[in-house]
Amino acid sequence: MSKSENTHKMTIRLSPLAKYRLEVGYQQDGSRSKNDFIERAVLFYLDHLEAEHNGMLPVAIQSAIDGRLGMFEDRLAKLLFKQTVETDMGLSVLLEHLGIDPDYLKKLRAESVKNVKATNGRVTFEQKAQEQYDEGEDDLWQD
């Protein structure tokens, strides 16, 4: 079944300005015909009306957002992978040269999880340094 067998013929009346804009617009848009341009314009406007009524985004806008988010997700995943590789290398070198006890690492991990949860992941190097400094002052008074 061809496309023409699935369509319905309609007559429309346009103002001279609308007719002129249609002539120019369908050529600029790259549509195959005025009918194709009009059908796409009507569907676009119906999507717009439905979006206002339903509070949902039109398909074209949702598709564009999904595409951009997909690109962002891919880029972020690549950056996180690279950062994780660098972190793994640094930790491997550090542990190889310091010979840290595995039990100490378990205790440190539990403490780090507690700290990250308490700060919603906003732990800074300066905060950790201040904590170490504060603990060092307490040690001075215990001697």
The per-residue pLDDT for range 61-86, each reduced to its tens digit, is 878 899 999 999 999 999 999 999 99
User: How many domains are contained in the chain?
Assistant: 3
Does the residue 1 lie in any domain? no
CA-closest candidate to residue 38, choices 19, 62, 15? 19
Residue 114 belongs to domain spanning: 100-143
Q: What per-residue confidence (pLDDT) applies to 29?
A: 85
Q: 51 with 73, same domain?
A: no
Q: Per the structure block, which two tokens stand in for 62?
A: 């949702």
DSSP 3: G
State mean pLDDT over 106-132.
Answer: 87
Does the residue 7 lie in any domain? no
Q: 79 with 117, same domain?
A: no
Does the residue 8 lie in any domain? no
**pTM, to two decimals:** 0.43
What integer best gives the mean pLDDT of the chain? 85
C-beta of residue 44 within 8 angstroms of C-beta of residue 60: yes
